[in-house]
Structure 1
């Protein structure tokens, strides 16, 4: 057996329409799948041109968890005590930073030049952390 790809990641969101506004409207991602499965809405986004790597924007609840657990997850998410982390790249960290500031995105760290590249932090409306980096070429 060989695992050869990461195809899907997941973050919890409290409102999937608000998540779409953020991930598509502000970050420029595109909707990959928006399907009502009856027991849940399967909503994924991806970076344009990379449909094989999706982010599932999942509301806490069935089928992954019972109602009591879902409520606990919603409370922790609202407090900022729970949240996933997503790492994205860009070809111009400073321009991307300026664009996101102009769109009112919650910035947690300004761009800093580090040994691996220039990166900065943002947070989605639900407390999930995102790092956006312009990577230096590898030797």
Structure 2
């Protein structure tokens, strides 16, 4: 087995698509709408890493998710606790400068950690994204 997709809840799939492609430089993998189900399967992924994708999933309403659960998910998203994606880079500070130039707003600037250099930003839906340059991987 291997990981093919990871999912993030998003408020607006078009806004998320623009952020992940235009600001982060990812590519669209799949964008299919099934009108009769009111469902859109939207995935993006890093260029050069075709075997991994992030599903940008709209927070569903009934019957999939009741109103109370929908609100709980949205509250967690607003706090940055509904999902996290970890992005790896060879140079965290250079990637920080590039992404900042594209309009990405960081909540943590690059800083030295025992394992390398680490920073963080959030997507338009509030999802927490870590950008890390690993120099010393954790030892098992």
TM range (shorter): 0.7 to 0.9
Q: Distance in 1 between matches of 2:28 and 2:103?
A: 21
The aligned counterpart of 1:136 is 135
The aligned counterpart of 2:78 is 79
- Give the TM-score normalised by structure 2: 0.85
Instruction: Encode CA deviations 1:51-100: one digit per residue, 9 max, x unaligned.
Output: 21110000011588235246414641563364210001011111110112
Where does structure 2 lack aligned partners over 5 or more consecutive residues?
A: none
Q: Which stretches of structure 1, 4 residues or longer, exceed 2 Å deviation after superposition?
A: 62-67, 77-83
Q: Distance in 2 between matches of 1:89 and 1:115?
A: 16
The CA deviation at 1:116 is: 1.1
The aligned counterpart of 1:23 is 20
1:90 aligns with 2:89: yes
Q: 1:52 to 1:69 in 2, by over 3 A?
A: farther
The aligned counterpart of 2:111 is 112
The CA deviation at 1:24 is: 0.6
1:36 aligns with 2:33: yes
Matched residues, number: 136
Q: 1:133 to 1:41 in 2, by over 3 A?
A: same
CA RMSD of aligned residues (A): 2.2
Where does structure 1 lack aligned partners over 5 or more consecutive residues?
A: none
Q: Distance in 2 between matches of 1:64 and 1:97?
A: 41
The CA deviation at 1:132 is: 0.6
Residue 13 of structure 1, aligned match among 10, 28, 41: 10
The aligned counterpart of 1:61 is 60
